[in-house]
Amino acid sequence: MTKLFIMMTALLSTSARSVAAFASGKTAAAVASAPSTRRSFSSSSSSALSALSGNLVSVEECLAAFGDDGVKFVDGSWHLAADRDGRSDYEAGPRISGATFFDIDDISTKGEANPKGLPHMMPPKNLFAAAMDALDISNEDHLVVYGTKGCMFTARCFYTLRGMGHDADKVHLMQGSLGEWIDKKGLIDKDPAKAISALDLDLSAEAKYQAKDATSMVDMQTVLGVVDAEDDADSIVVDARGAARFKAEAPEPREGMRGGHMPGSFNVPFADLLDPGDPTKFMNSVELKAAFEKGGVDVSTDKKIICSCG
Which residues are tagged catalytic? 309
What span, in angstroms and rounded, lies between the C-alpha atoms of 146 and 242? 24
Beta-strand (E) ranges in 13-129? 56-58, 71-75, 95-96, 100-101
Residue 125 identity (one-letter amino acid): K
Neighbours of 187 (CB within 10 A): 12
- Residues whose CB is less than 8 angstroms from the CB of residue 73 and which lie 6 or more positions away in sequence, other chains included: 62, 66, 96, 98, 99, 100, 143, 144, 146
**Adjacency order of strands within the sheet including 304-308:** 217-218, 4-7, 304-308, 235-239, 266-267
Q: Which residues contact 154 (CB under 8 A, 6 or more apart)?
A: 76, 77, 78, 145, 146, 147, 173, 174, 280
Among left, alpha and beta (phi > 0; psi -120 to 50; other), residue 131 is alpha
Scanning the chain, the segments in alpha helix (DSSP H) are 14-22, 59-65, 86-92, 125-134, 154-163, 178-183, 220-229, 243-246, 285-294
Name every residue whose Cβ is closer than 8 Å to that of residue 42 and which is 6 or more positions away in sequence: 169
